[in-house]
């Protein structure tokens, strides 16, 4: 941690997990005046949400470490600012990533505002990321543990918010975090990492989504138009998906696995193909709603050479980024990318520095010769 924290009030987002608990330990060791703030952002008592358990774990950590715990309910803001968008994107046939919006709107939005009301000078979270201060700017950097680096999910957080944020775990690995928790006798040292939808938890996805959006079953077709099955609703599938298609062996077909390669929203048809198909490969994309943490990078207008990720934990991919006609960004990759999903984010990097990102809007795929799927970019998956 670069910042001087001694006697400064830091409001820590304490989830009840091991990461934020160790963040509290490190802040205390740095001499900060630490106050923990636990958020409740989802209230349905359906057996899948672990909010009550997490709150109790947070209480236990604070009691053991001797720091005060505050509790706030942001369920309304979460539904309005994150969950509504999540549903709208699925209804449009796209594949959203609510964690990015959750960070921008909740953890570094209304949470930050509430932290200031508690007298906080700085905000802290258990994210695996770092900031660097210099030349009057605050830059977002990857975490030292590249297997846990969460800068991808933080790319939409404003520079202003990052300037007031401390990431105590940025220079640690997950193994080190668990070891610190165990050495301090924290019961959460062995608590498993949370997965699933941000704040909603792990649950049967199809069942959950169907309670908010009406399912609309339809045909599963090959690119040549042959019907090979029925789908439960386009919103339940994403490009590259292999599991859950319900397509068995077919006469005259190979034993190669089937993959989702497109969605034809007009015909309500899910398009699938077998094996290692070029229909899942794209060498370029256009993206919208671009946000640059430190402003648009120099050289963007002429074509910016940098690295990018189109999904979390993907190795950095070399690309060129430039403004697209009609707004947005045009991104061309040196190597073709597999199963790029509209609605997800493309996030840009210069070395360890996260520059920002944008929402993937259209993909420009490497077409298989003679395939009926060959269409103009504006007709590609995700445009419902």
pLDDT band for position 1 (cuts 50, 70, 90): low
At residue 200, does pLDDT exceed 70?
no
- 73: domain CATH number is 3.40.50.620
Residue 132 lies in a domain: yes
Average pLDDT over residues 268-280: 92
pLDDT value for 373: 43
Provide the annotated active-site residues: 102, 198
Considering the domain architecture, whether residues 26 and 159 belong to the same structural domain is answered as yes
pTM of the model: 0.90
Residue 372 lies in a domain: no
Considering the domain architecture, whether residues 177 and 95 belong to the same structural domain is answered as yes
Domain count, the chain: 3
- 264: domain CATH number is 2.30.30.280
Considering the domain architecture, whether residues 236 and 344 belong to the same structural domain is answered as no
How many angstroms separate the CA atoms of 274 and 276, rounded? Answer: 7
pLDDT tens digits for range 211-261: 899 989 999 999 999 999 999 999 999 999 998 898 866 656 678 899 999
Residue 1 lies in a domain: no
Considering the domain architecture, whether residues 154 and 292 belong to the same structural domain is answered as no
pLDDT value for 102: 93
The C-alpha R_g of the chain, in whole angstroms, comes to 22
Examine the fold and report which residue of 229, 244, 274 is the final residue of a domain before the chain moves on.
Answer: 274
Average pLDDT over residues 291-320: 96
Domain of residue 286: give its range.
279-367
At residue 374, does pLDDT exceed 70?
no
């Amino acid at each position: 941690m670069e910042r001087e924290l001694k006697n400064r009030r830091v409001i820590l987002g304490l989830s009840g997990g091991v990461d934020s608990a160790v963040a509290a330990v490190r802040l205390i060791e740095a001499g900060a005046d630490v106050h923990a703030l636990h958020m409740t952002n989802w209230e349905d008592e359906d057996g899948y949400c672990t909010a009550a358990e997490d709150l109790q774990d947070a209480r236990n950590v604070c009691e053991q470490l001797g720091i005060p715990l505050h509790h706030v309910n942001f369920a309304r803001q979460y539904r309005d600012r994150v969950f509504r968008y999540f549903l709208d994107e699925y209804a449009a046939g796209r594949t959203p990533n609510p964690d990015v919006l959750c960070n921008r709107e909740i953890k570094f939005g209304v949470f930050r505002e509430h932290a200031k009301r508690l007298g906080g000078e700085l905000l802290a979270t258990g994210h695996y990321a770092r900031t660097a201060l210099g030349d009057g700017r605050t830059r977002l950097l990857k975490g030292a543990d590249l297997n846990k680096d969460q800068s991808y999910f933080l790319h939409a957080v404003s520079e202003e918010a990052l300037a007031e944020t401390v990431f105590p775990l940025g220079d640690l690995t997950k193994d080190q975090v668990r070891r610190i928790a165990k050495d301090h006798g924290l019961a959460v040292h062995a608590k498993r990492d949370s997965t699933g939808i941000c704040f909603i938890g792990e649950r049967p996805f199809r069942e959950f989504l169907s309670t908010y959006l009406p399912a609309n079953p339809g045909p599963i077709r090959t690119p040549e138009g042959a019907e090979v099955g029925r789908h439960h609703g386009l919103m339940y599938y994403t490009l590259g998906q292999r599991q859950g298609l319900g397509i068995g062996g077919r006469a005259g077909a190979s034993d190669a696995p089937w993959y989702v390669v497109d969605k034809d929203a007009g015909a309500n048809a899910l398009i699938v193909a077998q094996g290692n198909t070029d229909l899942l490969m794209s060498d370029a994309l256009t993206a919208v709603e671009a946000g640059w943490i430190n402003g648009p990078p120099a050289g963007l207008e002429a074509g910016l050479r940098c690295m990018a990720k189109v999904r979390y934990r993907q190795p950095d991919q070399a690309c060129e980024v430039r403004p697209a006609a009609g707004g947005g960004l045009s991104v061309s990759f040196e190597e073709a990318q597999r199963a790029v999903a509209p609605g997800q984010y493309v996030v840009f990097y210069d070395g360890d520095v996260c520059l920002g990102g944008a929402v993937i809007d259209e993909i420009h795929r490497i077409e298989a010769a003679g395939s009926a799927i060959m269409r103009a970019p504006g007709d590609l998956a995700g445009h419902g």
